[in-house]
Amino acid sequence: MTSPGDAAPVKPPPSFSPGVARVASTSPSRYPGEHETTQSLDAELAESQTVSSPTPLSATVAELPIRSGSSHSRSGRSSTPQLARSSIGSPFDGRSDGSEDIRSSIIRSFSPTIAVHASEDTDDLVRSKGFKGGFWELIRPFGETVSGKVVIRDSIGSSRAWEDYGVRFADFKGIGRTPLNRDSGPLAQMEEVLTKQLDSSGGMLGASVRTKDVLGLPATTPLCKSFLQQLLCSAPTAPHETFGHPVANVIAISSRNAAPLETLRQLYADGTTGNKQLPDWVNQEYLRYYVLVHDEERDNITESIKLYDQMKRHFGLHCHLLRLRSSQCVVTDDDSMQVPQCEWLSPSEHLSGAEALVDLGTDGTPYLFGSDATAIRAFIRELVVQSVIPFMENKVAVWNDQVASRRRGISGRFMSMSRRWAGFGSSSRSSIGGSSGGISGNYDPTQHSYSPDSPEAILRKMADFAFMLRDWKLAASTYEMIRSDYGNDKAWKYHAGAHEMCAVSMLLNPLATSAKIKLESVDQMFETACYSYLTRCSDAPHALRCLSLAVELLKSRGGSATESAAKWAMRVMDFGLVGSVGQILYTERVAACYASKTPVGAAKWGGRRRKAGMWRILAADQWLKAGQPTLASACLEEAERLYADVLQADGVFPMPEMQSFVDNLRHAVKVEYLGARGFDTRDAPASEDPLATEETSEKLDMRHHRRSLVGPPMQLDAGALNATQGPLDPQSPPNDDFERA
């Protein structure tokens, strides 16, 4: 076990630490230049409109908000484990940044939950700093990234350092309670959030900011990523999976408290008795961590240290003294810093957050003293590295030893086999109970849950712990072991969850190469999970989460797995799990899945460019119908690039009906886009003379493809081209030569 003493991470050799530079590049504003880009586009547009009133279509289309080359930002964090001992390269080294980013998101979404239970005086202290939600709200954003590397030891004893480890703080009172419902499920809320985001950003959110992978294909749009993040954290705490159950409980008091030890005792007792108690399907064996918040401005530090020493004597190592200033910080103070944004906000929080922002005006996010932020970061690091992780490692080891190995052994197999047959035959069930726990008696069909100390629940918890510790191999084998038991007990949600997580952990395991795991079995597991969620439990949010995980993880596998990723994305649309905006997003995902299947060999076969192009065009059509011409034009642009390789040199579709459809679409997008930007579209000659339009648009294609063959168009380059193209006749040969050079 990692003891607090050896917390210093086992450093990889300098030649094998690619993640360090990436962390340095993480800045709060990840996409600088986003707004400049749009504005300059508009400016250019206005300019060209005034310089040459009969704007050639080529120029205008080129000025449509195309993916800007400058937004080539690397993903902030890497989820690639840095192996401490062996230097096995990650199989994803050559993969795109974007999918790596998504993988990291998925991994981080399954992070341990830590409940926060603060006394009234602590919450008062923090409220005076401007955080209405109290202590929980103050530390929550800092928990999403634990500073520095976190070393985790897995079940076979090898350590790995993770840079992007995080924990999720949850309000103790909120766990297991159904949140205030806005009389709509999470799916409807997500759709609402999407619509709001689209409206507020004017479409720039999805279009211009993109991470690009090696081939220059956009991997994901921010809109899509935010959708996925909301989806992953929208699931309420449920009995059948323990990711939302607290791993630890932070009990906080402040130095203002008159009777500190009494309060601590009271807060502790709240966890086990009384009306604030957690639901009884939550395992009560979680870690208690005691925090004393010291008010730097009003209270005496020697007193606090004395109290802290007393706490340490009572409660042992799991204590921390957090020194904060109690006055509110404003922007103009020295040493003030903005509180980082929460990355994982559930859809309902997104909605209420948006309303709050409207109320307060622009500065909705509070500020904090830099010294406070440092203190909080240090506190969280100590909490995670010295207490939570060792606790979880310990639990996994104990359960693995006491519960799982018994099931794995020959007698355990015999038990589970006899259990299986017992159902058919006589009522000899009760006699087989014995050491491996009860038969199906552990499942309570009225509550739809197992009691937390039954072996089924403990095994599930152990697998979830292993998953959160990123030991996917152990997690996968444990899920695999228990998934059939749930089926025998007809605990369908558990059944679905175990299948889902088994497949996910198999796909996440970086050391199992694609040849090793059978994609068919993964597909089969997703199929079963999805069927159990949807048909047996009619739980659409979980089904959507399951299918989305399938899409993203299979896509990041690459190769033939992308085909089944596309299949699952189509399945999502087929089941009608998402609303109208979600449908378009998933259309884009299908396109992205096909586009990520790269051709191999000299013959260039195996690519799916035509399919990807078709789905992009369909998405463009739908965006246009949804009134988002900016996004539509981005999709169209993307489709052209995808088709560039497969169409004959001039970029004209061989089939007349396709060609006319694409031409019409292109024209409609242009008209809508200009209309939305406030330009008078009647001036544009394109709308009057369709024949001429067609000709010029073909010219544009030619030029565009040539450019895209050379390399991804640079932002500067595009700007220069536009500037020269405006006044010049687009058909003049020198212009062409200039571009070719």
| Residue 558 within binding range of other proteins, rule CB under 8 A | no
**Closest CB to other proteins among residues 573, 728:** 573
Beta-ladder partners of 329: 367
**Closest CB to other proteins among residues 77, 608:** 608
In the block, tokens 């908000």 appear at 65
| Residue 617 within binding range of other proteins, rule CB under 8 A | yes
- Contacting residue, 515, 602, 603, 691, with other proteins by CB under 8 A: 603
Write out the binding residues for other proteins, residues 647-676 only, by CB under 8 A: 647-648, 653-658, 660-661
| Residue 606 within binding range of other proteins, rule CB under 8 A | yes
**Closest CB to other proteins among residues 408, 567:** 567
Q: At its nearest, how many Å lie between other proteins and the CB of residue 647?
A: 8
DSSP conformational letter for 582? H
- Contacting residue, 28, 157, 605, 733, with other proteins by CB under 8 A: 605
- Contacting residue, 235, 337, 357, 573, with other proteins by CB under 8 A: 573
Q: At its nearest, how many Å lie between other proteins and the CB of residue 132?
A: 47
**Closest CB to other proteins among residues 273, 648:** 648
| Residue 452 within binding range of other proteins, rule CB under 8 A | no
Q: At its nearest, how many Å lie between other proteins and the CB of residue 571?
A: 8
* Contact yes or no for 117/105 (Cβ under 8 A): no
Tell me whether residue 78 is exposed, middle or buried, using C-beta atoms within 10 angstroms of its C-beta: 0 to 12, 13 to 18, 19 or more. Answer: buried
Q: At its nearest, how many Å lie between other proteins and the CB of residue 643?
A: 9
Cα separation, 578 vs 572, in Å, equals 7
Residues 6+ apart with CB under 8 A from 127: 134
Q: Give the angle 205-208-212 at the CA atoms, nearest 5°.
A: 115
Q: At its nearest, how many Å lie between other proteins and the CB of residue 517?
A: 23
| Residue 567 within binding range of other proteins, rule CB under 8 A | yes
**Closest CB to other proteins among residues 146, 612:** 612
What sign has the CA pseudo-torsion 455, 457, 460, 464? Answer: negative
Cα separation, 679 vs 85, in Å, equals 61
| Residue 424 within binding range of other proteins, rule CB under 8 A | no
**Closest CB to other proteins among residues 56, 613:** 613
Binding segment toward other proteins, per CB under 8 A, in 70-78, 228-236, 503-511, 563-571:
563-571
Q: At its nearest, how many Å lie between other proteins and the CB of residue 578?
A: 14
List, as one string, the DSSP characters of 269-300: HHHHSSTTPPPTTS-S--EEEEEEEEETTTS-
Q: At its nearest, how many Å lie between other proteins and the CB of residue 605?
A: 5
Q: At its nearest, how many Å lie between other proteins and the CB of residue 658?
A: 5
**Closest CB to other proteins among residues 207, 652:** 652
| Residue 602 within binding range of other proteins, rule CB under 8 A | no
Specify the DSSP element, H or E, that contains 106. Answer: helix 97-109
Cα separation, 551 vs 559, in Å, equals 13
Cα separation, 153 vs 300, in Å, equals 40
- Contacting residue, 574, 650, 688, 689, with other proteins by CB under 8 A: 574
| Residue 613 within binding range of other proteins, rule CB under 8 A | yes
How big is the chain by its Cα radius of gyration, in Å? 28
What sign has the CA pseudo-torsion 637, 639, 645, 650? Answer: negative
- Contacting residue, 293, 614, 684, 686, with other proteins by CB under 8 A: 614
Angle between helices 540-557 and 519-531 in degrees, nearest 10: 170
Binding segment toward other proteins, per CB under 8 A, in 23-31, 516-524, 543-551, 614-622:
614-622
Number of residues that bind other proteins (CB under 8 A): 28
Q: At its nearest, how many Å lie between other proteins and the CB of residue 692?
A: 23
Q: Give the 3-state secondary structure of residue 151.
A: strand
**Closest CB to other proteins among residues 282, 647:** 647
| Residue 432 within binding range of other proteins, rule CB under 8 A | no
Q: At its nearest, how many Å lie between other proteins and the CB of residue 674?
A: 25
**Closest CB to other proteins among residues 70, 659:** 659
What does DSSP say about strands 336-338 and 367-369: parallel, antiparallel, or unpaired?
A: antiparallel
* β-sheet with 82-83: strand ranges across: 82-83, 159-162, 150-153
Write out the binding residues for other proteins, residues 252-271 only, by CB under 8 A: none
Residue type, 558: G
Binding mask 681-720 for other proteins (x = CB under 8 A): ----------------------------------------
Angle between helices 580-595 and 561-575 in degrees, nearest 10: 170
- Contacting residue, 646, 692, 710, 720, with other proteins by CB under 8 A: 646
**Among residues 92, 248, 85, which one has the least CA distance to residue 161?**
85
Binding segment toward other proteins, per CB under 8 A, in 130-138, 468-476, 479-487, 570-578:
570-578
Q: At its nearest, how many Å lie between other proteins and the CB of residue 92?
A: 24
Q: At its nearest, how many Å lie between other proteins and the CB of residue 16?
A: 37
In the block, tokens 């202590």 appear at 135
Residues 6+ apart with CB under 8 A from 610: 642, 643, 646
Residue type, 638: E
* Contact yes or no for 340/376 (Cβ under 8 A): no
Length of the chain: 741
**Among residues 153, 152, 173, which one has the least CA distance to residue 163?**
152
Binding segment toward other proteins, per CB under 8 A, in 312-320, 358-366, 453-461, 641-649:
641-649
**Among residues 31, 39, 138, which one has the least CA distance to residue 76?**
31
**Closest CB to other proteins among residues 7, 570:** 570
Six-digit token string for 67: 């993916």
* Contact yes or no for 334/347 (Cβ under 8 A): no
**Closest CB to other proteins among residues 495, 608:** 608
| Residue 607 within binding range of other proteins, rule CB under 8 A | yes
- Contacting residue, 108, 168, 611, 666, with other proteins by CB under 8 A: 611
For residue 415, CA distances in Å to 142, 409, 429 come to 46, 10, 11
**Closest CB to other proteins among residues 22, 610:** 610
Binding mask 72-91 for other proteins (x = CB under 8 A): --------------------
Cα separation, 50 vs 609, in Å, equals 39
- Contacting residue, 225, 377, 610, 699, with other proteins by CB under 8 A: 610
Cα separation, 569 vs 530, in Å, equals 13
Q: Rounded to 5, what percent of the chain is helix, strand, coil?
A: 60, 10, 35
* Interacting residues toward other proteins by CB under 8 A: 567, 570-571, 573-574, 603, 605-611, 613-614, 617-618, 646-648, 653-658, 660-661
